[in-house]
């Protein structure tokens, strides 16, 4: 079975609809066909300040959400990144192979650091994509299900793998980004030209908020002038975003939806989408609560996942250390 790996940051509150449609839905689907490794990337989370108690809670809540969304711990290794020390170990090696300029060109770093003074931006934020490359390469992953915003990090990962391979001999498999066609980038409901993101939370649908609140956000989503419900991202960004979300959640094609809404208004579309979303999210919220009710069991599942991950990660790291010329510790 081909290998797949992906990761998500343990954000406060909950994941949002962009995370789900851009990435997590694919995580769940790929379990049927792939040998899957999925991690909550707490090491990445500390690239910005975190409250210790909150971080622990967010990490558990993230794992509970992944399970509730359908990540199956019997089929996939679900683990917490800091439980597998090989991640930062490989990251250091890769840092030593990364050009300073190369890292400086990462657009996510440029965006994130532009908002702060230089001395407040941690070096960890700068090396963040290299740790991500280590996450992926340790597992020899072939596919990495992510949203569009991670494409550049995946290219860096491939470059680093290739560089290592050509310098030290074939060690890493070159991974590919697995980016969905219609929901690669879910847009903010209040600003349909901006990515849905919790750093600018205006029209963000959170998976664990009261569905009534989500329904209200959907009903007040910014749409476009005109009345026709057609998919046209260039000229009708708002309606097109709603159609993409609807199509993914209801498992119906956009063409089919366009047909259904001929002669009907934006209000109908929003009302129906709000219902579809509520139906989708209600059972998920219930499952999240029950996973969080049994913390001991949750922690046990994560320990099990980490054990499976470490077996693979340790094998890759040992090979890397050997190729580089580190003296074996025996």
- Sequence ranges of the binding site for L-tryptophan: 135
Dihedral-angle region of residue 51 (phi above 0 means left; psi in -120 to 50 means alpha; beta otherwise): beta
Which residue is closest to ligand TYM by CB? 22
User: Could you give the residue numbers annotated as active site?
Assistant: 112, 195, 198
Smallest distance, Å, CB 43 to ligand TYM?
9
Cα–Cα distance measured from residue 184 to residue 242, given in angstroms and rounded to the nearest whole number = 14
In the bound state with ligand TYM, the residue whose beta carbon lies nearer, of 19 and 240, is: 19
When asked if residue 91 is in the footprint of ligand TYM (CB under 6 A), the reply is no
When asked if residue 144 is in the footprint of ligand TYM (CB under 6 A), the reply is yes
Is residue 295 packed enough to be buried (19+ CB in 10 Å), middle (13-18) or exposed (0-12)? exposed
Smallest distance, Å, CB 53 to ligand TYM?
20
Binding residues: 9-11, 18-19, 135, 147-149, 186, 195-199
Number of amino acids touching ligand TYM (CB under 6 A): 24
Residue whose C-alpha is closest to residue 227's, from 275, 261, 186: 261
When asked if residue 41 is in the footprint of ligand TYM (CB under 6 A), the reply is yes
Smallest distance, Å, CB 18 to ligand TYM?
3
When asked if residue 22 is in the footprint of ligand TYM (CB under 6 A), the reply is yes
When asked if residue 135 is in the footprint of ligand TYM (CB under 6 A), the reply is yes
Smallest distance, Å, CB 229 to ligand TYM?
22
By CB under 6 A, what part of segment 190-249 binds ligand TYM? 195-197
Contact 276, 249 (CB under 8 A): yes
Cα–Cα distance measured from residue 16 to residue 5, given in angstroms and rounded to the nearest whole number = 20
By CB under 6 A, what part of segment 146-185 binds ligand TYM? 146-147, 149-150, 185
Cα–Cα distance measured from residue 309 to residue 317, given in angstroms and rounded to the nearest whole number = 12
- Distance, C-alpha 24 to centroid of its chain: 7
By CB under 6 A, what part of segment 276-315 binds ligand TYM? none
Cα–Cα distance measured from residue 302 to residue 39, given in angstroms and rounded to the nearest whole number = 9
Contact 178, 258 (CB under 8 A): no
When asked if residue 84 is in the footprint of ligand TYM (CB under 6 A), the reply is no
In the bound state with ligand TYM, the residue whose beta carbon lies nearer, of 189 and 261, is: 189
Cα–Cα distance measured from residue 174 to residue 137, given in angstroms and rounded to the nearest whole number = 8
Contact 244, 186 (CB under 8 A): yes
39 forms beta bridges with: 7, 79
Binding residues for ATP: 9-11, 18-19, 147-149, 186, 195-199
Q: Find the part of the chain contacting ligand TYM (CB under 6 A) among 62-70, 131-139, 231-239, 297-305.
A: 131-139
In the bound state with ligand TYM, the residue whose beta carbon lies nearer, of 123 and 327, is: 123
In the bound state with ligand TYM, the residue whose beta carbon lies nearer, of 85 and 260, is: 85
Residue whose C-alpha is closest to residue 249's, from 288, 192, 205: 205
Smallest distance, Å, CB 299 to ligand TYM?
21
When asked if residue 14 is in the footprint of ligand TYM (CB under 6 A), the reply is no
Smallest distance, Å, CB 10 to ligand TYM?
8
Q: Which long-range contacts (CB under 8 A, 24 or more apart) does 135-138 make?
A: 135/5, 135/7, 135/39, 135/41, 135/81, 135/87, 136/5, 136/175, 137/90, 137/94, 137/161, 137/172, 137/173, 137/175, 137/316, 138/84, 138/86, 138/87, 138/90, 138/312, 138/313, 138/316, 138/317
When asked if residue 73 is in the footprint of ligand TYM (CB under 6 A), the reply is no
In the bound state with ligand TYM, the residue whose beta carbon lies nearer, of 24 and 298, is: 24
Which two tokens mark 269? 């579309």
Q: Which residues bind ligand TYM (CB under 6 A)?
A: 5-9, 18-19, 22-23, 41, 44, 132, 135-136, 144, 146-147, 149-150, 185-186, 195-197
């Amino acid at each position: 079975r081909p290998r797949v790996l992906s990761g998500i940051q343990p954000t406060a509150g909950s994941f949002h609809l962009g995370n789900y449609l851009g990435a997590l839905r694919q995580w769940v689907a790929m379990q049927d066909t792939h040998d899957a490794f999925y991690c909550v990337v707490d090491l990445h989370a500390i690239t910005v300040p975190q409250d210790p108690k909150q971080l622990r809670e967010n990490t558990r809540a993230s794992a509970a959400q992944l399970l509730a969304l359908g990540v199956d711990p019997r089929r996939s290794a679900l683990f917490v990144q800091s439980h597998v020390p090989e991640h930062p170990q490989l990251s250091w090696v890769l840092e030593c192979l990364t050009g300073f300029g190369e890292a400086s060109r990462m657009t996510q770093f440029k965006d994130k650091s532009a908002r702060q003074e230089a001395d407040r931006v941690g070096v960890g934020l700068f090396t963040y994509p290299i740790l991500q490359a280590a996450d992926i390469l340790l597992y020899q992953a072939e596919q990495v299900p992510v949203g569009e915003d991670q494409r550049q990090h995946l290219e860096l990962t491939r470059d680093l793998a290739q560089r290592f391979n050509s310098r030290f001999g074939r060690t890493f498999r070159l991974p590919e980004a697995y980016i969905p066609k219609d929901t690669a980038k879910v847009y903010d409901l209040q600003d349909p030209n901006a990515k849905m993101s919790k750093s600018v939370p205006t029209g963000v649908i959170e998976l664990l908020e009261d569905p009534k609140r989500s329904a209200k956000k959907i009903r007040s989503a910014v749409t476009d002038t005109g009345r026709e419900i057609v998919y046209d991202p260039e000229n009708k960004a708002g309606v097109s975003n709603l159609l993409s979300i609807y199509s993914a959640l209801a498992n119906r094609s956009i063409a089919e939806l366009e047909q259904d809404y001929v002669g009907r208004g934006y209000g109908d579309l929003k009302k129906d989408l709000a219902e579809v979303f509520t139906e989708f999210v209600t059972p998920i919220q219930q499952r999240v609560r029950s996973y969080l009710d049994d913390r001991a069991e949750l922690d046990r599942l994560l320990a099990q996942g980490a054990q499976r991950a470490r077996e693979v990660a340790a094998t890759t790291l040992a090979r890397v250390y050997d190729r580089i010329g580190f003296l074996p510790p025996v």
